[in-house]
Structure 1
Amino acid sequence: MMTLWGRKSSINVQKVLWILAELGLVEGRDFERIDAGLHFGVNKTPEFLALNPNGLVPTLRDGELILWESNSIMRYLAHKYADRKRFSLDLAQMAASDKWLDWQLTTLWPALRIPFLGLTRIPEAERDYAAIHKTFQESNQLLRILDDVLSKEAYCSGPNFHLGDIVLTLCVKRWFMLSDQYPDKTGPRAELNHIARWYDQICKSTQFTKAVE
């Protein structure tokens, strides 16, 4: 049985929980999950650091294989369970999806992370509201790139749901939440109708709402 370390509230752990659900893998039957990170601790213990020297979640153990970095774990699971045919392994579509996995990590999340952590983790007296507003508006502009792609495609990498859609949906979920709960702090949310259509489609046709609370 595989073991996954990570708390359910982490965006990176949610990536892995979602793909496990898409592959039909069930917690308690196919994998064990151990709460780790933030108030759960665990991730700074010598035992955990021997598995993942970064002290971060998620970390996955599958037999002798130890993996960290959420997008790498996702790719591994998609290939390991390729026989379930949930995610296409066509080279072109995999590459198209991979570019969104990288873009989410290197471009979108670094911008969106600032208002997300600023409004949900940092005490109010310590918040930099100018930075929160600025980076949320930067996120608006970045998401216009995705919206333009979705004006021509059903999903981010073509006609079929793929790994890139998982990581982008989890960011968009937070983008919606921040502007809905803190509109005076983030400034207006861009009206991106193609993203709204895509997000609604994913909520209805995937394991997203079941896997991510």
Structure 2
Amino acid sequence: MLKLWGRTNSTNVKKALWCLEELQIPYTRVDAGGAFGVVDETHYIAKNPNKLVPCLEDGELVLWESNAIVRYLAAQYGQGSLWESHPAQRAQADKWMDWVTATLAAPFRPVFWNIVRTAPEQRDMASVQASLDACGKLLAIPDQALATQPYLSGESLGMGDIPLGCYAYAWFEMPIERPDLPHLRRWYEQLQRRPGYQTAVVTPLT
């Protein structure tokens, strides 16, 4: 059985969890990272020398990096569903996965850490506002793409929807002012109706 190391309040762990739930693959999860520790222990460092979560074990395979885990699970277990067999279509999904990591994650982090994980009196609201403005402009890009297709991956949910879908939960549920991005919201509301998303992503923001 597959084993996933990581805590459920980690956005990166949620990516892997949601993928597992969508594919209905039996797995076990071990709390690690954050308050749970474990990542500094010798046995874990042997699996992931970065001391981060998630980390996936599938038989003899040990894999870290959340997007790599999602790609592996989709390719290995999601043929005909999350994994697109046509290279050009698969590249369309790939670009959104990389865009979230390379472009959105950095400006998103100050918003999340200040609003969710910092006491109100200690928040850097100037940083929050600057990051909100940046995120709003960036999220207009997938909003525009979703004006012409139901999912970022195309006509159906695919691996390209998973990273941004995990960020979207925090974006829409944090007590912040957001620009009106109707296509992004419609997409988010579609995700909320999926059992796998409800199980893996819609958990308390902590």
1:31, distance to aligned residue in structure 2 (A)? 1.7
Q: CA separation in 1, counterparts of 2:78 and 2:193?
A: 23
Structure 2 gaps, min length 5: none
User: Is the 1:8–1:14 Cα contact (8 Å) retained in structure 2?
Assistant: yes
- TM-score, normalised relative to structure 2: 0.92
Q: CA separation in 2, counterparts of 1:158 and 1:54?
A: 33
- TM-score, normalised relative to structure 1: 0.89
Q: Is residue 11 of structure 2 the alignment partner of residue 11 of structure 1?
A: yes
1:25-36 superposed matches below 5 A: 25=25, 30-36=26-32
Q: CA separation in 2, counterparts of 1:177 and 1:200?
A: 12
Structure 1 gaps, min length 5: none
- Which of 187, 199, 206 does residue 198 from structure 1 map onto? 187
User: Is the 1:22–1:86 Cα contact (8 Å) retained in structure 2?
Assistant: no
Q: Is residue 178 of structure 2 the alignment partner of residue 189 of structure 1?
A: yes
Higher mean C-alpha displacement, 117-126 vs 136-145 = 117-126
- Secondary structure of the residue aligned to 2:62 is strand
1:134, distance to aligned residue in structure 2 (A)? 0.6
Task: Tell me which residue corresponds to 1:157.
Answer: 153
1:138-157 superposed matches below 5 A: 138-157=134-153
| Aligned CA-pair RMSD | 1.4
1:78, distance to aligned residue in structure 2 (A)? 0.8
User: Is the 1:82–1:89 Cα contact (8 Å) retained in structure 2?
Assistant: no
- What amino acid is the match of 2:3? T
- Secondary structure of the residue aligned to 2:29 is strand
1:206, distance to aligned residue in structure 2 (A)? 5.5
Task: Tell me which residue corresponds to 1:210.
Answer: 199
Q: Is residue 60 of structure 2 the alignment partner of residue 64 of structure 1?
A: yes
Count of residue correspondences: 201
Q: CA separation in 2, counterparts of 1:80 and 1:68?
A: 16
User: Is the 2:23–2:78 Cα contact (8 Å) retained in structure 1?
Assistant: no
1:125, distance to aligned residue in structure 2 (A)? 4.2
